[in-house]
């Protein structure tokens, strides 16, 4: 069987091999992780963050406005933070797994990967602190 050539004399396999690699976009994972971080920060602002910042010798008076708003809604904020963190981690892991299974796809930029992982980690720490001091 002879492969068919296009007008320029290239086969379809040549086009696939010479195509630039696609990139995985982690926008959804980053947005979910950022939402989880914001909710976890708000939930931890009333009790855990002032205690943590005070033990480090840093002032925490600026958290009063956030704590005043977030204190009545702490359980809902913790729930939203957990949902966003888990969903962000799942989207991030799923996109990585799909990218690893497809040829010609790179796994995204190192900066974006580092940003998503660090936002997910910081959000998880804040969620744990928010539950400990809830």
pLDDT of 69 > 90? The answer is no
Asked if residue 11 is part of any domain, the answer here is: no
Asked if residue 7 is part of any domain, the answer here is: no
Q: For 94-130, write each residue's pLDDT tens digit.
A: 887 766 656 655 666 778 888 999 999 999 999 998 8
Asked if residue 79 is part of any domain, the answer here is: yes
Q: For 3-52, write each residue's pLDDT tens digit.
A: 555 566 555 555 555 555 555 567 888 899 999 999 999 888 887 888 88
Domain of 43?
27-132
pLDDT value, residue 15:
52
Asked if residue 87 is part of any domain, the answer here is: yes
Asked if residue 8 is part of any domain, the answer here is: no
What's the number of domains the chain is made of? 1
Q: Confidence class of residue 81 from pLDDT cuts 50, 70 and 90?
A: very high
Q: State pTM to two decimals.
A: 0.70
Asked if residue 6 is part of any domain, the answer here is: no
According to DSSP, the β-strands at 22-23 and 105-106 are: parallel
Asked if residue 17 is part of any domain, the answer here is: no
Question: Quick one: tokens of 61?
Answer: 């008076």
């Amino acid at each position: 069987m002879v492969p068919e050539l296009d007008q320029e004399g290239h086969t379809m396999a040549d086009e696939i091999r010479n195509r630039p690699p696609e990139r995985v976009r982690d926008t959804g994972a980053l947005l979910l992780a950022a939402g989880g971080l914001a909710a976890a920060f708000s939930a931890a602002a009333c009790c855990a963050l002032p205690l943590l910042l005070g033990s480090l010798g840093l002032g925490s008076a600026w958290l009063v406005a956030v704590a005043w708003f977030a204190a009545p809604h702490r359980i809902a904020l913790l729930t939203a933070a957990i949902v966003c963190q888990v969903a962000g981690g799942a989207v991030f892991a799923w996109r990585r797994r799909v990218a690893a299974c497809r040829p010609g796809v790179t796994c995204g930029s190192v900066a974006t990967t580092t940003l998503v992982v660090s936002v997910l980690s910081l959000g998880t720490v804040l969620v744990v602190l928010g539950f400990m001091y809830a």
